[in-house]
Amino acid sequence: MTSQAIHPLDAALALTPTAAAGVFTGHTTPDYWNMVGPYGGITAATLLQAVLQHPDLLGEPLSLTVNYAAAVTEGPLTLQVQPIRTNRSTQHWSVLLLQPDAQGQEQVVSSASAVTAVRRSTWGVSDAPMPAVPAPAEVAAVPVPENFPVQWIKRYEMRPITGSIPEQWNDQGDSSLSQLWVRDRPQRALGFAALAGLADVFFPRVWLRRARRVPIGTVSMTVYFHAGSAELAAVGSGYLLGQARAQEFRNGFFDQSAQLWSEAGQMLASTHQIVYYKE
């Protein structure tokens, strides 16, 4: 990518304001395509980007919850963004992502709620310190063949430490824990929307725990942003350490809890999601 070329993430997040207040249009891009639709992380990033572009924005992202109501299809997107309550230091948002159905009628395919806030300097402590792991340079990157059909994986440089994709699908998995270094590919300065996308970078925990590849789909994901823009700017295009594990697999759904730290050991975000899986 040349210095003049737009980064794939910026192209995917390009939104155009319309004459209607709080309404933006966009379009899916092939760069973040998954097996049957866009990567869930790029959908979350797009919903957050709509909040970040709203002229009435107060503060910076504190939390984002995305509900994946239906599959996003290739084509145009409409985002409806509304601040539903603004307080002195927090602001609450509702976001809808719509696409036309077969009859041309716009239908909700994803919805989100977000909270932005004005951060103030206070006492703080980290009760979940970054685990001791090898440095990024000591961990090999996962090579992705150019003809690999899942495109979004090519948008991230991943250096797995533990809990990689099973080498054998033999129903003999014994842990759902994964740790990896990750960053955008090509390298890109970290921002809130990019961080929201990275929160969904982990492959399904049920694949690791069972060592069986089964159909899955994220139902709902929440991201909590613990860092402000200054801390993200300090990360630049550096690696993030991601750690993810599940807690319960039952009746066709499992959860996932994950954390993302900077190389300096600062937790930038934590995230939780509930995922459907098929036996």
Secondary structure (DSSP) of 7-35: PHHHHHT--EE-SSTTEEEEE--GGGB-S
Distance CA 158, CA 202 (A): 10
Q: What is the pLDDT of residue 50?
A: 98
Q: What is the pLDDT of residue 147?
A: 87
Q: What is the pLDDT of residue 16?
A: 98
User: Which residue has tokens 């990896």?
Assistant: 180
Which amino acid, 262? S
Pick from 30, 33, 88, 38: nearest CA to 59: 88
Which amino acid, 229? S
Q: Are 85 and 92 in contact (CB under 8 A)?
A: yes
Q: What superfamily does domain 8-118+136-277 belong to in CATH? A: Acyl-CoA thioesterase, double hotdog domain (2.40.160.210)
Tell me the H-state helices in the chain.
Answer: 8-12, 40-52, 192-198, 205-210, 229-235
φ, ψ dihedrals at 106, nearest 5°: -70, 130
Distance CA 236, CA 182 (A): 13
Find all residues with CB under 8 Å of 179, minimum gap 6, and list them: 131, 133, 160, 161, 162, 163, 241, 242, 243
User: What digits encode the pLDDT tens for the residues 59-116?
Assistant: 999 999 999 999 999 999 999 999 999 999 999 999 999 999 988 899 999 999 999 9
User: What digits encode the pLDDT tens for the residues 107-162?
Assistant: 999 999 999 999 999 999 999 999 999 999 999 999 998 889 999 999 999 999 99
- What band does 3 get if pLDDT is binned at 50, 70 and 90? very low
